Structure 1
Amino acid sequence: MAYETLFSPIRIRGLELKNRVVFPAMGTKMGTEDRLVTQQLIDYHVARAEGGCGLNFVEVCSVYGPASPRNFLAISDDRYIPELKRLADAVHAAGGKAGIQLWLGGMAVGSDPDAAMIIPSPVPVKGTDVVLPAATRETLREAAQAFGEAARRAVEAGYDTLEFHAGHNYTPHSFLSPYFNRRTDEYGGSLENRARFLLECIEAIRNNVPEEMPLFMRIDAHDDYLEGGLTIEEVIEFCKMAGTAGVDVLDVSRGNFSSAAIKYEVPPIDLPRGFNVDNAARIRRETGMATVAVGRINAPDQAEEILAADKADLVVMGRAQLADPDFCEKALTGRSHDIVQCVACNQGCYDGFVSAEVPFITCLRNPALGREAEFRLKAAEQPKKVLIAGGGIAGLEAAMVLKRRGHEPIVCEATGSLGGQFALAGEAPRKEEMKAAALSRGEQVIREGVEVRLDTPVTLQLLEELQPDEVISAIGAAPMELRVPGSELSFVTNSHDVLSGRVPVSGRVVIVGGGLVGLEVAEYVHGSASEITVVEMQEKVAKDLGDLRSICVMENLHASGVRILTHTRCLEIQEEGVVLETEGGALTTYPCDAVVIAIGARSRDFSPVRTYCEDHRIPFHVIGDALKARRALNAVSEAHEVARSI
């Protein structure tokens, strides 16, 4: 497919972009504590510009000094110009165009206790007597002026365009939304009044940039989960005002961090691909303004279809380019089958961002994210034959890296197909993309020229035959058994057998284990089961899910009528049902027709092979669930590290 519209140029005022792909402003945690650009951030953007992206937006940049939180970028002082210029220059040298997202974070700056929260109305702090005050008129005048000064600095730093962030519950959105804005002065009440602060910011920006520089604006299509919030009709009317004030392009997003609608900001795999495109199309149609479609657009054919149908003028492809920085180049040159596709797992890009233990964002599909310079592959000094036991997502990653470095990897998979647990996870509802990604990775590895042997467990005889120089064990983990009386009964099975379709279950089903896999089994059997109960011994279920996936999964379980019992242990399984002990020690027998054990997985035993390797002085590596059962993100990262080290 040629993707003629996707890779056609577009001109907005004096800016010409070579294609319609936008790499959006996304939080990375790659700045310094003192809000400065780093070489790491430059390398991150350069990789996407070199990969063919039309326009790179630098993540949220604080415009107002008192409200600039540490560890976020800032453009609130002239001292930030030199490093911001270095980033813009690097993107230009890589063949791209660069923009900055101008940001006033509102309550989102609360991560820094010294940063001022600029909000429209007083907000009580839950569990305290503290009330956060509303911004004064003087503060609003200063903040609007700060947007103008930030725009001037961006021009001095050599940026091609700017984006005014007016969405996601940040200060401008909070003023526009009647849910947050309860003011009775000229900044509250009617839509015209609620729009006043935003229009003052836009005017200040426009007055400080050249006439030929376009201005983007990120907006929410409407408010979700906020009773009495913004409607799309109000957003359309505001966008018309913004267009008159000088905004050229509408970047139509969705979500807020004050409710479950945060799931729309970094939408997980549970949300449909392109879920927000029709909103962008309507806003484009009714305002007559250029728009950017946003929200789970992760494939070139999908992007082409949106643009060719005249639903938008550009498309945001953010996480698609986190997963594969060469996304654009591959699609443009007819190699779309080689794209490493984002599966919206959120493990690295969102869960990593909000975790205090993770230094910067990562990606399950791309371990080099944030380490672009460090992870450039180097040719092996001495090519080796490396036997990889296991054709799951970790084993395939290791094989690909080894092959590209000049080694001779041989993948031996005990079953008849590649993909392992990642492919199995794709059997759960709404996770088809994970299965497709696992199978696609297998095809990519084969196209790369890696030798793959299916239905081939690694035995001592095979080791004698192949005589490998090194061995990697990536054989994964097997479901743990529940050691209680009755666990051997015929109607007791495990999560893997259910998700794979080997063992169908119906009637009244009890699932022992309320982690990710147990909940996915609950969703999987919905429809075939007449009654579903999840039993979890801890205080809550979904503890191993990220925040946004958890929101979606729990909403779906609630809608499906799944019963969840926490602080509850399974003591015994009898013909008539499971014997449960609640937190207070009370016992009850729960009638059921099938029991599914989903209490976790344990690494498979590979000790004979390990011993053989030790005896023959063959370097032996263990990666992924074969080492310890955990997230796929860790398994792929580990595989990459080991393959780089050989």
Structure 2
Amino acid sequence: MAYNKLFSEIKIKGLELKNRIMFPAMGTKMATEDKFVTQQIIDYQVARVVGGCGLNFTEVCSVYAPASPKKFLSIAEDKYIQGLKKLTDAIHEAGGKAGVQLWLGGLAVASDPEAMIIIPSDIPVQGTDYIMPGASLETIKEAVKSFGEAARRAVEAGFDTIEFHAGHNYVPHSFLSPFFNKREDEYGGSLENRARFSIEAIKAIRENIPEDMPLFMRVVAQDDYLEGGLTIEDIIEFCKMAKEAGVDVVDVSRGNFSSAAIKFEVPPVDLQRGFNVKNAARIRKETGLITVAVGRINDAALAEEILENDQADMVVIGRSQLADPEFCNKSKDGKEDSIIKCVGCNQGCYDGFVSTEMPFITCLRNPALGREAEYKIFKTDTPKKVLIAGGGIAGLEAAIILKKRGHNPIICEASDSLGGQFALAGAAPRKEEMKEAALSRGQQAINEGVEIKLNTLVTTELIEEINPDEVIIAIGSAPMSLNIPGANLPNVTNSHDILSGKAIASGKVVVIGGGLVGLEVAEYLNGKAESITVVEMLDEVAKDLGQLRKICVMESLYTEGVNTVTNAKCIEIENNSVVIEKDGNIEKLPCDSVIVAIGARSRNFDNISKYCEENGIPCHAVGDAVRARRALNAVAEASEVARVI
């Protein structure tokens, strides 16, 4: 399919873009501790430029030195210009256009205890007697001035455009929203007063950039989950003021980090693709501003439809370019089948960003994210035959990389299909894209020329027959069973058999296990069962879900009326009930069907590893074959092993 509108040029003042795709500001944790650009950031951005993106924005870039948190980019002092210039030079040399997002984070800078938190009004700090004070007029004036000075530095650093971030709970948004802003001076009260901070900042930016440089502004479409907050009508009026003050383009996002609306900022697979486009279309129509649409736009066909329907002038395609930096080129060249699609899992991008364990963001679909230089694929001088036991998402990842490096991988999969548990996960509600991604990866392996043997269990005899140079074990895990009386009754089954359609459950259903899989089974059975109760030993369900997916899943369970029982141990299963111990008391939960979802255990491969050891064949285990974890870990390990063989 030709995407003529998506890949058409657009000119905004003096900025000429080769297509209408924008790579947005996304936190990476790739900056230095003292906020400078790194080569890692340059490689990360340039990979997307080379991949065909029209306009690349930096991640949020702090404008005010006292409020600049560590590990985030800063443009608050002249000392940062040189590093930012190195970034823009690299983007320009690769054929791209560079934008900087000017940011004042407010409560978001609390990750750095030394950073100043600027808020419009006093806020009591929960659990203490301390009241965090609202900003003084002096601080407000300094902050406004800092936007102008940051804009001057952006011009010196060679940026082609600037984006003023006025959304997502950051300082401009907090001043604009009546939910946060309770001031009684000229910066509070009416919409005009609440908008004053942003309008002054916009004017300060405009005064420090060339007339022909366009100014973008990111806003939220409305205040979700904030009672008495901004309406879309308020945002439209604000955008009209901003247009008059010098804004040329409005980038319509959604969400805030003070409520469950944070799910809209980095929308997981649970949210509909393009869920925010109608808001962008309305704002565009009523303001006359050039408009960028945002929100789970993860394929070129959807982007083209949005542009053709005149709902927006440009589109943000962010995480899809994290998953595959060649997304734009592949879409333009009609090679969509080779695109590694984002599935909205959030495991590497958002969960990785908020995690204290991950040094920088990553991607389940693309372990090379943030390692662009280090993970560049080179052909091997010593091709090897590599037997891969297991055709799940990890085995496929290893096989494709090995094949690209010039090795000869052979996948042996015990079942009749590829994709493994990642494909199985796609049976759960709202996760169809995961199944599609798993099946697509299998087809990509076939297209790469990987030899695949289905219905083939790896045995020592098979290894002897194939005689590989190395072996990768990616056989995954199997559901754990309960070791209690009644666990083998005919009305008891496991989560995998339910999701795969091998077993059914009806009537009153009890799901034992309130982790991700147990909850997805509960959702899967909604409408198929009379009632559903989830029993969990821990003090809450969904402990193994990332924050944003957890919000969506818990909202769905509440809407569907699924009952959850926590701090409860299952001690026996009877023909028509499950016996639990809770708070020292024994209770019986009436049921017709029982589904066990207490986790998974690695499949045994001692025979394979022993044979390999005895015969001097290097053997590598990856993913759930080591221990049951998230798909993110499995793909990362497979990718790493395939790069060192």
Short-chain TM bin: over 0.9
Quote the offset at 1:280 in angstroms.
Answer: 0.3
- Alpha-carbon displacement from aligned partner over 1:111-157 (angstroms, at most 9, x marks no partner): 11221111111111001111111111121111111000000000000
CA distance in 2, matches of 1:533, 1:333: 50
Alignment of 1:418-433 (within 5 A): 418-433=418-433
1:96 partner amino acid: G
- Alpha-carbon displacement from aligned partner over 1:408-441 (angstroms, at most 9, x marks no partner): 0011111111000000000000000000000000
CA distance in 1, matches of 2:541, 2:104: 36
2:499 partner amino acid: L
Quote the offset at 1:464 in angstroms.
Answer: 2.1
2:553 corresponding residue in structure 1: 553
2:597 corresponding residue in structure 1: 598
2:40 corresponding residue in structure 1: 40
1:375 partnered with 2:375: yes
CA distance in 1, matches of 2:106, 2:579: 51
Q: Which moved more, 1:69-78 or 1:609-618?
A: 609-618
- Alpha-carbon displacement from aligned partner over 1:302-330 (angstroms, at most 9, x marks no partner): 11111111110000000000000000011
2:8 partner amino acid: S
CA distance in 1, matches of 2:111, 2:375: 31
Quote the offset at 1:381 in angstroms.
Answer: 1.9
CA distance in 1, matches of 2:348, 2:622: 18
Quote the offset at 1:255 in angstroms.
Answer: 0.3
1:612 partnered with 2:606: no
- Alpha-carbon displacement from aligned partner over 1:34-85 (angstroms, at most 9, x marks no partner): 0111010010001000101000000111101111111111100000000000
Give the RMSD, CA atoms, in angstroms: 0.7
2:373 partner amino acid: A
Task: State the secondary structure of the residue aligned to 1:640.
Answer: helix
1:341 corresponding residue in structure 2: 341
1:74 partnered with 2:74: yes
Quote the offset at 1:461 in angstroms.
Answer: 2.3
- Tell me the TM-score normalised to structure 2 length: 0.99
- Alpha-carbon displacement from aligned partner over 1:546-576 (angstroms, at most 9, x marks no partner): 0010000001001111111110000001112
1:26 partnered with 2:22: no
CA distance in 1, matches of 2:607, 2:407: 25
Quote the offset at 1:159 in angstroms.
Answer: 0.2
Alignment of 1:386-425 (within 5 A): 386-425=386-425
Alignment of 1:315-330 (within 5 A): 315-330=315-330
Alignment of 1:247-646 (within 5 A): 247-582=247-582, 584-646=583-645
1:592 partner amino acid: C
1:568 partner amino acid: A
CA distance in 2, matches of 1:613, 1:71: 45
- Alpha-carbon displacement from aligned partner over 1:265-293 (angstroms, at most 9, x marks no partner): 00011111110001000100111111100
Task: State the secondary structure of the residue aligned to 1:59.
Answer: coil
Quote the offset at 1:231 in angstroms.
Answer: 0.2
Quote the offset at 1:589 in angstroms.
Answer: 1.4
1:149 corresponding residue in structure 2: 149
1:277 partner amino acid: V
1:135 partnered with 2:135: yes
CA distance in 2, matches of 1:342, 1:435: 12
- Total equivalences in the alignment: 645
CA distance in 2, matches of 1:142, 1:520: 50
CA distance in 1, matches of 2:70, 2:638: 34
Gaps of 5+ in 1: none
- Alpha-carbon displacement from aligned partner over 1:565-600 (angstroms, at most 9, x marks no partner): 110000001112111100x21001111000000000
Task: State the secondary structure of the residue aligned to 1:529.
Answer: coil
CA distance in 2, matches of 1:408, 1:112: 49
CA distance in 1, matches of 2:510, 2:455: 33
CA distance in 2, matches of 1:538, 1:177: 38
- Tell me the TM-score normalised to structure 1 length: 0.99
2:340 partner amino acid: V
1:186 corresponding residue in structure 2: 186
Task: State the secondary structure of the residue aligned to 1:179.
Answer: coil
Task: State the secondary structure of the residue aligned to 1:250.
Answer: strand
Q: State percent identity of aligned pairs.
A: 69
Over 4 Å off, 4+ runs: none
Task: State the secondary structure of the residue aligned to 2:87.
Answer: helix
Task: State the secondary structure of the residue aligned to 2:59.
Answer: strand
2:629 partner amino acid: R
2:62 corresponding residue in structure 1: 62
Task: State the secondary structure of the residue aligned to 2:145.
Answer: helix
Task: State the secondary structure of the residue aligned to 2:530.
Answer: strand
1:94 corresponding residue in structure 2: 94
CA distance in 1, matches of 2:563, 2:334: 49
1:281 partner amino acid: A
Quote the offset at 1:206 in angstroms.
Answer: 0.2
CA distance in 1, matches of 2:187, 2:120: 8
CA distance in 2, matches of 1:381, 1:534: 54
CA distance in 2, matches of 1:216, 1:117: 25
CA distance in 2, matches of 1:472, 1:107: 46
Q: Which moved more, 1:178-187 or 1:157-166?
A: 178-187
Gaps of 5+ in 2: none
Quote the offset at 1:453 in angstroms.
Answer: 1.0
CA distance in 2, matches of 1:632, 1:576: 36
